[in-house]
Amino acid sequence: MSIREKVGVDVGGTLIKAAIHTENDWIYQSFPISQIDDVAGWLTKHSDHRSLCLTGGKASLLQSKMSRSDIYFAPEFLASCNGARYLLTMQQTNTLTDFILTNVGTGTSMNLIKGETQQWIGGTGVGGGTIMGLSRLLTGIHDYDRLVKLAASGRRDTVDLTVANIYEGETPPIPGDLTASNFGGLMGQPSTPSSVDQLASVIGLVAETVASLSVFAAKNAHVDHAVYIGSSFVDNSQLSKIVESYSNYCGITPIILHHGQFCGAIGAALEV
């Protein structure tokens, strides 16, 4: 496949995401970071006469493996924010101008976007890498697609402690199905929960953490939307549902962008 016009590549800690802007549309591709040498060769072969812009923490590493001297670079957070703005324009009836942008990749970063400005406001080490690492530690499963599929059939109530558990026999002041303590239900439990239940609780922990931080950030910045992007949401319905549910419960409107994992790559391409 030949690449036309311009290419943006987001080189992250786990994945390499490419957004190819053709005459009529965008083409998206992703590769594991372990294939960085192959990606360098592929880009060198197909994008010699096309504009190429890199972003992400390992952008310089990818550039060092290529022979091109005319490669552009875009700041990671700026590229992600501009890519998110672009996708919002394409996917939303009403253009959203003020929101928290939460990028759940290997870790999680948050930016405050107001109009044409953007500001990094923080993040957390809890993200997709946590799902992978903690799931492997607990269950030995390290294939992302497999663990996400298994987690979908798991029960968190065998692992987590809910508000209803704390207020047993009484009416709690907040919804009883909210989590009081992730993995807290294991205290005093005589048997070990199944692997699928553990996986479901790992995803629940990550989802509630990133949603909580996004809600706090939105309220502090006086905005009422949180836009969620990142590879962690791909084919992960459980993560998406929990993030949406908790955000809505706290009064913040969540938007999980389609193709949101490519925001950085799109933003990079838009720079050239």
b/e per residue 192-225 (b: at least 16 CB within 10 A): ebbbbbbbbbbbbbbbbbbbebbbebbeebebeb
168 catalytic residue (yes or no): no
Please compute Rg for the chain using Cα positions: 20
Q: Token pair for residue 140?
A: 């030995």
Residue 246 corresponds to which amino acid?
Answer: Y
CB 160 within 8 A of CB 209: no
CB 267 within 8 A of CB 80: yes
Catalytic residue among 23, 76, 168, 271: 76
Known catalytic residues? 76
